[in-house]
């Protein structure tokens, strides 16, 4: 799929969102899917950070792919990833300090994301810059989509509100239910339950409408 000369950019973009959705389909990089998703705003910014890192790493690796020695490629990939993560960390600390205070640790841990390393290894190191960028964008948007869905569900059910960011430092809190409906959903235990139920829902849609087997991991 990756080494063909004519890559359909649209398919490559959609691949990361639907067929190989990092969280719902590949079940990789799960930590932030629970850690930061008890608030829609945090979920969205975490997703954006991953989107940024994934795209920039793919571009960098693609640019460097001709000069990297295959033997030392993994340490170099790790170095590139941690470099971009450090930059993201600094940008977020500067521009969205309130979000960074909550999700800072998980931003740092983007380094250990198997999905980012996997895209660098499997795709960006073998393809030219434009397809690599599109691939990174697709994977990142897929991640952003998953985090948005989970945090939408958890904040709405757990607190009855939705915190929608309207700018870097502004936000609007929509209140749907005045009392806290099912508080457990914003607690750790509820996070696992919510992700489990949403994953099952995606599987169910798959089984029901796509006539494909469930993802067993």
Partner 1 sequence: MESEFIKYFELIISASLINNFVFTRFLGLCIFFGVSKKMETAVGMSITFTAVMMISAALSWVVFNKVMDPLGITFLEIIVFIGIIAGIVQASDTIMRKVSPGLYYKLGIYLALISTNCIILAVPLVSVGEKYSFLQSLAFGLGSGLGFGLALIIMASIREKLELADVPAAFKGLPMAFVITGLIALAFTGFSGLITL
Partner 2 sequence: MEATKKEQLIVSVSPHVRSDETTSRIMWTVSIALMPAMLAGVYFFGLKGLFITALCIISCMASEWWYLRMVGKKPVVGDGSAFLTGLLLGMNMPASLWSFSPFTVHVPVIASFVAMVITKQLFGGLGFNVFNPALIGRAFALLSWPKAMTIWNEPAVAFFAMDAKTSATPLGILKEEGVARLIEVFGDKMNLYVHLLTGNRAGSIGEVSAIAILIGGLFLLYKKYITWHIPVSFLASAAVMAYVFGGKDPATGKMILMAGDPVIHLLSGGMMLGAWFMATDYVTSPSVRNGQILFGIGCGILTMIIRLKGGFPEGVMFAILIMNCFAPLIDRSFKAKVFGAVKQEKAKENK
Contact (Cβ atoms closer than 8 angstroms) between residue 158 and residue 167: no
Q: What is the DSSP letter of 24?
A: T
- Residue 105: name its binding partner from partner 2, partner 1, none (Cβ under 5 to 8 Å by kind): partner 1
Tell me which residue of 186, 136, 193 sits closest to 162, measured CA to CA: 186
Does residue 182 touch partner 2 according to CB under 8 A? yes
Contact (Cβ atoms closer than 8 angstroms) between residue 170 and residue 45: no
- Of residues 103 and 185, the one with the C-beta less far from partner 2: 185
Does residue 182 touch partner 1 according to CB under 8 A? no
Measure CA 184 to chain center: 24
- Residue 182: name its binding partner from partner 1, partner 2, none (Cβ under 5 to 8 Å by kind): partner 2
- Of residues 122 and 130, the one with the C-beta less far from partner 1: 122
Query: 78 vs 90, 117, 146, 176, CA distance in Å?
Result: 18, 7, 25, 44
CA separation for the pair 200, 19 (Å, rounded): 16
Beta-carbon contacts of residue 197 (< 8 Å; ≥ 6 apart): none
Scanning residues 195 to 214, which ones bind partner 1 (CB under 8 A)?
195-197, 199-201, 203-204, 207, 214
Could you list the beta-strand ranges (E) of the chain. 161-165, 171-175
Query: 154 vs 140, 176, 193, CA distance in Å?
Result: 21, 13, 10
User: What does the per-residue mask of binding to partner 2 show for 152-181, with x meaning CB under 8 A?
Assistant: ---------------------------xx-
Element (H, E) at 143: helix 129-159
Does residue 29 touch partner 1 according to CB under 8 A? yes
- Of residues 64 and 111, the one with the C-beta less far from partner 1: 111
Does residue 90 touch partner 1 according to CB under 8 A? yes
User: What does the per-residue mask of binding to partner 2 show for 186-215, with x meaning CB under 8 A?
Assistant: -x-xx--x----------------------
User: What does the per-residue mask of binding to partner 1 show for 46-85, with x meaning CB under 8 A?
Assistant: -----------------------------x--xx--xx-x
Interface contacts to partner 1, rule CB under 8 A: 27-32, 34-35, 75, 78-79, 82-83, 85-86, 89-90, 105, 108-109, 111-112, 114, 117, 184, 187-193, 195-197, 199-201, 203-204, 207, 214-217
């Amino acid at each position: 799929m990756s080494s063909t000369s004519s890559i359909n950019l649209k398919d490559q973009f959609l691949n990361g969102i639907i067929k190989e959705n990092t969280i719902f389909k590949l079940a990789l990089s799960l930590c932030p899917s629970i850690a930061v998703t008890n608030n829609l705003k945090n979920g969205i910014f975490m997703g954006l950070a991953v989107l940024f890192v994934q795209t920039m790493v793919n571009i960098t690796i693609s640019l460097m792919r001709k000069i990297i020695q295959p033997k030392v490629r993994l340490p170099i990939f790790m170095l590139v990833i941690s470099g971009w993560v450090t930059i993201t960390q600094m940008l977020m600390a500067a521009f969205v300090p309130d979000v960074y205070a909550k999700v800072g640790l998980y931003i740092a841990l983007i380094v250990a994301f198997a999905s980012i390393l996997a895209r660098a290894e499997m795709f960006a190191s073998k393809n030219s810059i434009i397809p690599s960028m599109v691939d990174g964008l697709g994977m990142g948007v897929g991640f952003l989509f998953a985090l948005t869905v989970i945090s939408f569900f958890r904040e709405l059910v757990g607190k009855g509100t939705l915190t929608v960011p309207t700018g870097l430092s502004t936000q609007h809190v929509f209140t749907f239910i005045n009392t806290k409906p099912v508080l457990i959903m914003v607690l750790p235990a509820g996070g696992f339950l919510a992700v489990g139920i949403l994953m099952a829902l995606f599987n169910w849609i798959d089984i029901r409408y796509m006539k494909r087997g469930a993802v067993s991991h």
